[in-house]
Each structure stands twice: as structure tokens, then as C-alpha cells.
A and B are shown apart, each in its own frame.
Chain A
């Protein structure tokens, strides 16, 4: 690990690590996502076959994870922007971080049913 990429910055450091990890994950997802969407130019059958795997319970869990990554990256990104451009941003960065975490938790709870509901119905029947 190169020197200088970890510092004793408490919450600020960990939010930066999480922002970086989620950003890289989303980028790799997007690369694959454009490839799979390109199958609409191959044939409707090929596209539907691949998309069918996205509806399985295990992939539903991955989708929930993707939502978690994007929601954190988006909310924390707005916080970073506020710290940079809002004159009081640096003073309230910590409060903003806890607001980000709180809002993220609420949204993730709200996403359980829409994102995972169909998987639960498939697994446990309905």
C-alpha cells in the first residue's frame, strides 16, 4: 500500500474510502451493463435470455448491493460538493455525513420490498 493513502482522518477518511470503493464498483458494473444492453442489437431472444438471469434471487441480492453502492456514492458525492462549494460546508461536514448515513439507511429499508420482493415470492411462494 503506497504511503499517504490512509490517514488518521476518522469518519472523513472512511467516507472517502467508501466513496472510492463504490465509485470503482459502479464503473465496472456500467461497463458490463452496456455490454448486456448491446444484446438488443443481436436478437430479442438473446437479450431476454440474459435479462432472465437478472430476475433470479441471487442476482436480486446483487442488485440490492448495487443500489446500496449508488445511493451512498450519490448522497456522499452531494456532501463532497457541499463541502467544496458551500461556505459553511466544511464546518458541517460531520453533521452532513451522519445525515447521509441516516438517509441512506431509510432509503435502503424502503428499497427492500421493491428490489427483493419478487425474489422472496419466488423462494417462499405466495
Chain B
């Protein structure tokens, strides 16, 4: 750092390079997002990237699971009219549909909760509001996933 720390109008001290030299007669402006000594070693990790990828992977699987579910519940075999306790008992007698519903429950809830997290991040500007909304969101999500899982695993066709 041979040159002085003089800061020309509007240009702050730049790390790792002198402000002026023969090749840069004008103030040197650091490239945006350049890694400097001030950049933390680890940023937020890859969580956001993993979440982005999860939205896409779960989306593809959900197309099959949810559209299949809707077809079974609303279209085939008389549509909604056939639904009742006996119908559910018949379906959950098969491990195939138990696994189907379990997978659909977990993927749809996590996909939806992560989507809502994005929505909260976009619209709730005050730190406090975000904290409360996300707390509520995560609580509701964990509760729903646990309840749904419990219902599938403890279903009893002879409850009465």
C-alpha cells in the first residue's frame, strides 16, 4: 500500500489494491462480491441451494402422488360419494397405499412449508414479524406431519 488512504469523493478505501497507479489513474472500484479479508470464511452454507433443489425434486414426485390421489378420491369409483370410514379402512389395509400416503404427506408438507418460508421472507419485512410467522409455520408443519404419520401407523379398522 504505497499510496495514501486518501478517499476521493464517494469512493471508500478498497482492500487489497492501491487506489491509484499508472494503469489506474482513476479511483479503483472493487468488483462486486469480490472475496476480501472481510468476507466471512463460511457463508450460509448450501442450505438455500438444497432447498431450491428439493422444491424441484419433490415437485416431480408430487405430480404423480397428488394427481394420482385426486384421481382415486374424486374421479374413480363414484368420486367423493364413496368416501367413508370403510373406504379408508380398505385402502390402508394395503401397505402400498400406506407408503403412498406417508410419502405424499411428508413431501407435500415439506414442499409447502419451504414454499411458505419463501413467501414469508418476501413479504414480512420486520424481523419480529418474520420470527413469529416462521415460528408459527414450523410449529404447524411439525404438528401436521407428526399427526398424519401417527394416524397412518396407528389406524385401527376395528376401532369400534
Contacts and interface: CB of A to CB of B under 8 A. Distances in A.
B80 interface: yes
Size bin of chain B's contact surface: 35 or more
Given A63-B80, A77-B59, A84-B56, A31 B144 contact: yes
The DSSP consensus for interface residues of chain A is: helix
Contact of B85 (A20, A44, A55, A67): A44
Interface in B46-82: 56, 59-60, 62-63, 66-67, 70, 74-75, 78-81
Contact of A43 (B56, B80, B147, B160): B160
Interface in A38-76: 38, 40-41, 43-44, 47-48, 51, 54-55, 60, 63, 67, 70-71, 74
A105 interface: no
Interface of B: 56, 59-60, 62-63, 66-67, 70, 74-75, 78-81, 83-86, 88, 105, 108-109, 112-113, 115-116, 119, 122-123, 125, 140, 144, 147-148, 150-151, 154-156, 159-160
Given A26-B108, A34-B147, 18 more contacts: A2-B122, A5-B123, A23-B112, A34-B151, A40-B85, A41-B150, A41-B154, A41-B159, A44-B85, A47-B88, A63-B80, A67-B70, A70-B70, A74-B63, A78-B60, A84-B56, A115-B75, A118-B80
